[in-house]
Every structure is written in structure tokens, then in C-alpha cells.
Structure 1
Amino acid sequence: MSVSIGQPVADFSAEATNDTAVALSQLKGQQVVIYFYPKDSTPGCTTEGGDFRDNKAAFDDANTLIFGVSRDGMRAHENFKAKQAFNFELISDPDESLCRQFDVIKLKKLYGKEHLGIERSTFLIDKDGKLAREWRGVKVPGHVDEVLEAARELAAQSR
């Protein structure tokens, strides 16, 4: 079961940093960015998280919440969030239920070996809980600017 543009995103409930439980159904009325990244404390994931952190005020102005998701456990998430001073929550998805819902688990190659891992992907959900935009196979440089622009356009349309 994957998500598609213009369709409602199935409700989910997940554990996040700061002892937060995130349920999509409780976020109605706000836009939501969910970005999936491979692993805490790795260079690309640190850069991407930092870009979201540095633009959080602009996302707030566009009525948009940010959540990062990986398969890492809560301890790794809390450390990563604290070390990078992230001003948004990280969702832990060790059983890959959220990853499967958004179809981001892909066969990847590392040093000639194949393994299943998270394909860097971002999803923008509108204030009614429908998928507005998706970015798959993301390259980090400039990505957050593109997501922010889409969030601003979406917010302007719903005013």
C-alpha cells in the first residue's frame, strides 16, 4: 500500500523524539513534511536535517510541520537531534511500517554489496491529510529550498 498524489494518506501513529507520539490524524489543519533518511549521524543525513533546521521558521510561516524518519532507535535519534540542535522531531520506524506505507525501502548497493535500505525521500501532506507532493531519490543540495517553495505555494492556495 503506497501513497499517491491527491489521495488521503492513511493515518499512522509513531513514536518520536522528546517522548512525542505522532498521529497524522491529529495534525489536520497543518501541512506536514515527512522526510525519510537512511541513517542518523551520517554526512548526507546531517546536512539534510541541518537544512530543515535552518529553515524551520520559514516552514512555520507556511503552516508546515517537519518530521524526519529513519529506522534508527530512539536513543540514536535523541543523540542525533541533540547534537545537531534539530528543532523538529525525529520518528523512529524500526519495524519499517511507515517506510513501507510510503514505499521508501529500496534495494541499494554499497561497496558492491546489495542491501535493503531507505531511499532518501520527502513527502508534503496538505492540511486535509492528502499527499500534495513527493520527492524520491533525493539529492541533498538545494532539496529543502524546493520543499519549502512547494509548502509556501500550497499554503497560499489554501488561504
Structure 2
Amino acid sequence: MSEANVQAGQPVPDFSAPATGGRTVRLSDLKGKWVVLYFYPKDHTPGCTLEGRAFRDHYEAFKQLGAEIFGVSRDSLKTHENFKARQGFPFELISDRDETLCRLFDVIKPKKMFGREYRGIERSTFLIDPEGRLAAEWRKVKVKGHVDEVLARLRALQQAGD
């Protein structure tokens, strides 16, 4: 699988990934729904907690628009279950330990912390339409106001389709 497989307007290749709640998430099973995939670096960290809470707090608005939300990181299912329970997330978290989804959406980037370089997830969000095509993407996401942007774009895309 090559980097940056997913391009705007193009079909997203079907995928299958383990998630919280004993669930396996398959894109093909979500046909007919809008799908929000938000990639974040690590469970239980300040920015990731704020982002998850923002999606949690807007969850009903997304549901009313026919959208499913999934958080994605490389953390284990055990860590995800704890994070989900602690924060009261009503959506599932996908464990991408082997980086299959990270590679598909090209979100693994070189990062630097305390002068040390490493490969990590660049905070990114992808909106997939009910036909399985990439409808919108956000990269290098800043948490503040981001969920409002995603919700506004989803509403705009739905109105344009009506």
C-alpha cells in the first residue's frame, strides 16, 4: 500500500480494524452513512482528551446528520477502553497498532519533541461520504474550534446534495 492512497472525491479503500466495544470496524459496513475518522497521537494526553471531548459533546448533532464518529490512534484496545470509559465517549476508538489506517490516510509524520525526532500521528480528520468517497480532510488540526468546522462542512455537504 503506497502513501497517501486517499484523495478527495475518490473512493476510500475498504478497511477492517479492531475497535473498542469488541467491535471490528469495516468501511463497507458503514455504506449509507457519513463517517468521521479523526486521527490523534495518544490516549490520555491533554490535546487528545480535549479533541475527544469536543467530538463527544457534539455527538448528537453528528448522529442527527447520519454520521458515525471514530477516533483512531496506535494505542492498544485496553488503553482505548480505559480512555473511552474515563471520558464518556459515546463512539468507538480504533486501535491501529500496525499503522494500516495511518498509512492509508498518510498521517504518520516526522515529529520533534525535546530535540528528539520520532514518527508520530499528525492530528488529522477525514470525512467519508455515504458512498465511501473522501468528502473532506483536515490536516495539522488545531483542536480549538475543529469539531465545529467538521460539523459545518458536513451540514454544507448535505445541503449541497439535497
Do the structures match in fold with TM over 0.5?
A: yes
Q: How does 1:72-111 map to 2 (within 5 A)?
A: 72-111=75-114
Partner of residue 133, structure 1: 136
Matching of residue 44 in structure 1 with residue 44 in structure 2:
no
- 1:142 corresponds to which letter in structure 2? G
CA shift for structure 1 position 156: 2.4
**Pairing partner for 1:144 from 124, 131, 147:** 147
**Pairing partner for 2:64 from 53, 56, 61:** 61
CA shift for structure 1 position 153: 1.5
Q: Distance in 1 between matches of 2:38 and 2:106?
A: 12
Partner of residue 22, structure 2: 19
Partner of residue 7, structure 1: 10
CA shift for structure 1 position 92: 0.1
- 2:82 corresponds to which letter in structure 1? N
**Pairing partner for 1:29 from 23, 28, 32:** 32
Q: Distance in 2 between matches of 1:16 and 1:39?
A: 15
Matching of residue 118 in structure 1 with residue 121 in structure 2:
yes
CA shift for structure 1 position 158: 3.1
Partners of 1:126 and 1:154 within 8 A in 2: no
Q: TM-score w.r.t. structure 2 length? A: 0.96
Contiguous gaps of at least 5 residues in structure 2:
none
Structure 1 residue ranges, 4+ long, deviating more than 4 angstroms after superposition = none
Seq. identity, %: 63
Q: Distance in 2 between matches of 1:133 and 1:112?
A: 33
- 2:80 corresponds to which letter in structure 1? H
Q: Provide, for residues 88-110 of structure 1, a one-character-per-residue CA deviation record: whole Å limited to 9, x for no partner.
A: 00000000011000000000000
Report the more deviating stretch, 22-31 or 149-158.
Answer: 149-158
CA shift for structure 1 position 62: 1.2
